[in-house]
Amino acid sequence: MKTNLILIGILSVMLFTSCSKDTPEVVQKNLESGDWKITYFYDKDHEETSDYTGYTFVFNDDGTLDATSSSGTIKGTWSTGNDDSMDRLYITFSNPDKLVEISDDWVIVSQSSDKIELKDDSDSGTELLTFEKI
């Protein structure tokens, strides 16, 4: 009986752990399957969505991220993962400043094949970012 309880406990841990790991993989597949735009960006105390009008984002399967506007294409990087028991999307740009602003380790709040909602969980203020497929 004791062995059965231990086995059930181990299987339960494996089940809950594997469910969490699925989300970053699904997000990765969804992001790699098209062009995206920012439809909402709230930075600490005000909305800045209009700063990203005209940008198209392409999440490449090699971990690079292209942000294209009429000014050209800026390369960044991206990845997914799990940290502090939260599924995350990591975005990094080194320039220009408006793209550096969205460089962060975003918590994945919700996701589907055509929309992903993100939140920064830092203590410096609320940041929200939403990408939608074009």
Predicted confidence at residue 127, as pLDDT, reads 95
pLDDT, tens digit (0-9, with 9 covering 90-100), for 80-124: 999 888 999 999 999 999 999 999 999 999 999 999 999 997 777
Q: In the chain, how many domains are there?
A: 1
Q: Is the dihedral of CA 16, 17, 21, 22 positive or negative?
A: negative
- The average pLDDT across 70-78 equals 97
Q: Which of 100, 123, 95 is nearest to 41 (CA)?
A: 100
Q: Which domain holds residue 79?
A: 23-133
| CATH number for the domain harbouring residue 37 | 2.40.128.270
Peptide bond into 96 cis (omega under 30): yes
Predicted confidence at residue 15, as pLDDT, reads 42
**13 is written with which tokens?**
């841990």
How far separated are the first and last CA of the chain, in Å rounded?
56
Cβ distance 107 to 88 under 8 Å?
Answer: yes
Predicted confidence at residue 7, as pLDDT, reads 43
